Amino acid sequence: MAMKRRKLAAYEGDPLIPILNLVCMLIPLLLYGAVFVRFMTLTVNAPKISSAPSQQQPEQLENLNLTVMITDQGFHFKVNPKHRLPWMAQATDTASAGADIPKKDDGWDFDEFNRKLKEIKQNHREELNIILGAEDDIKYEVLIKAMDYSRGTDVEPLFPVVTLTRGVV
Amino acid sequence: MNPQVPAVSQDVGDKLWAQKREARKSKRRDRTAVQSKLLINSLMDAFTIILCFLLKSFGSDPVQIRESDDLKLPRSTSENPLLDAVVIGISTKSIQVDDQKVADLRNGAVDESMKRDGQEGLMINPLYDALKEKVQHLKMISARTGTQFKGTTLVVAHNATSFRLITEVLYTAGQAEFEDFKFVAAEGGEGAD
């Protein structure tokens, strides 16, 4: 009799236990599906792929046409010769020219890359486009980092419209 | 001097002592009962908070992306959120379209037998077929709903993927009528100051 009373008392005392059981099962299930890292997107224009040199429109001849190539040596800048800055390599092809921003021991010098982009931007306030290219074996994370630096910040935007180009020109 | 305690008063004392002991016992019992109830309540509170937090984190993005050893995304400072689009995944082992494997990778590259123009070619045949199928499906939906086909695709690539493979994938997607490309990166990169 006493045991029956005790059992009854225990049953009356814990109505939350079935809910607790349910919650205990839901938590691992939700933990498995939960995403704790936020993912962002970076818009990129389709790569320009052509084996032959493209015919430039008259307005393009006046444009800055900023192109940055990422190679194993560093960053190579190319612009319309009319807008070329003294520190840019004079050679027309990347292969023969040395890097405008050579690689450092610990990798690509993104701080210097940022400074050079700001310098170019000072003379071309309206320009938003940049063309990025890389050697075949350059890693995707380097490209993303270069895109981040090219975009600048909300306060000081640099060249947010990124177009990829195939290979090194 | 040894005071004589009457037998009646000793009985009363024993009874009182027994009653006191019983009262103490029942008090202890009650206290234990209250304590256990409180414990379950606070546990329920904690679980409810955890549950709400997990429910919020679960499925809030239109696309579910899960990082693994084969798919570690690069970090970026971009603040553009994810959007619903066809997902091209590039891990260390394979290329997938909406979680369906379409091509295997060997040493981070597609085998030349899967390319239209051999080793130097850019078009990846199985990826093109899968994307073309998606495009037809999306165009059919657009026609029925009266919306415009946008051709947006999300590229979810491992951080060590080569630029060559990225170009091949973008070229193939472009041939399959995709024209709006978005690279997906995890939040928290270092950017310009």
β-bridge mates for residue B88, sequence order: B97, B155
- Is the complex ipTM higher than 0.90? no
The answer to whether residues A135 and B166 touch, using CB atoms and an 8 Å cutoff, is no
Q: Which two tokens stand for residue B68?
A: 């693994």
pLDDT digits (tens, 9 = 90+) for A51-93: 555 555 666 667 788 999 999 999 999 888 887 887 787 655 6
CB contact under 8 A, A24 and B47: yes
Amino acid B52: pLDDT:
87
Closest CA to B74 of A143, A160, A167, A114: A143
Round to whole Å and give the CA distance between B41 and B37.
6
State how far the Cα of A88 lies from the Cα of A101, in Å rounded to an integer.
9
Contact of B149 with chain A, judged by CB distance below 8 Å, is answered with no
What's the one-letter identity of residue A169? V
Q: Is B184 on the interface with A (CB under 8 A)?
A: yes
Query: Which residues in chain A touch residue B50, judged by CB atoms under 8 angstroms apart?
Result: 27
Instruction: Look over chain B and give the mean of its residue pLDDT values, rounded to a whole number.
Output: 85
DSSP class of B113 = G
Q: Report A:30-49 residues touching B (Cβ under 8 A).
A: 30-31, 33-47, 49
B109-121 per-position pLDDT tens digit: 999 888 888 878 8
Are B38 and B30 in contact by the 8 Å Cβ rule? The answer is no
Q: pLDDT at position B4, please?
A: 55
Q: Please say whether the beta carbons of A145 and B74 come within 8 A.
A: yes
Q: Which residues of chain B have pLDDT under 70?
A: 1-9, 30-38, 59-60, 191-193
The mean of the pLDDT values for chain A is 80
List the single best residue of A8, A24, A40 to mutate versus B (max B Cβ within 10 A).
A40
Give me the pLDDT at residue B1, please: 45
Best residue of A140, A149, A156 to probe chain B, by most B CBs closer than 10 Å: A140
The verdict on pTM exceeding 0.90 is no
Residue B43 C-beta-side C-alpha neighbours within 13 Å: 14
Residues B96, B190: Cα–Cα separation, whole Å = 28
Degrees (nearest 5) of the Cα angle A24, A30, A36?
Answer: 130
Instruction: List Cβ<8 Å contacts ≥24 apart for B44-50.
Output: B44/A16, B44/A19, B44/A20, B44/A23, B47/A20, B47/A23, B47/A24, B47/A27, B48/A23, B50/A27
Mean pLDDT computed over A109-128: 90
Shortest CA distance to B142 belongs to which of B177, B97, B170?
A: B177
State the Cα–Cα distance between residues A151 and B118, nearest whole angstrom. Answer: 36
Instruction: Name residues 83-112 of chain A within 8 A of B (Cβ).
Output: 110
HEC-encoded secondary structure of chain A:
CHHHHHHHHHHHHCCCHHHHHHHHHHHHHHHHHECCCCEEEEEEEEEECCCCCCCCCHHHHHCCCCEEEECCCEEEEECCHHHCCCCCCCCCCCCCCCCCEECECCECCHHHHHHHHHHHHHHCCCCCEEEEEECCCCEHHHHHHHHHHHHECCCCECCCEEEEECCCC
| Dist CA B141 CA B159 (whole Å) | 33
Sequence-distant (6+) residues with CB within 8 A of B183 are: A41, A42, A44, A144, A147, B154, B155, B157
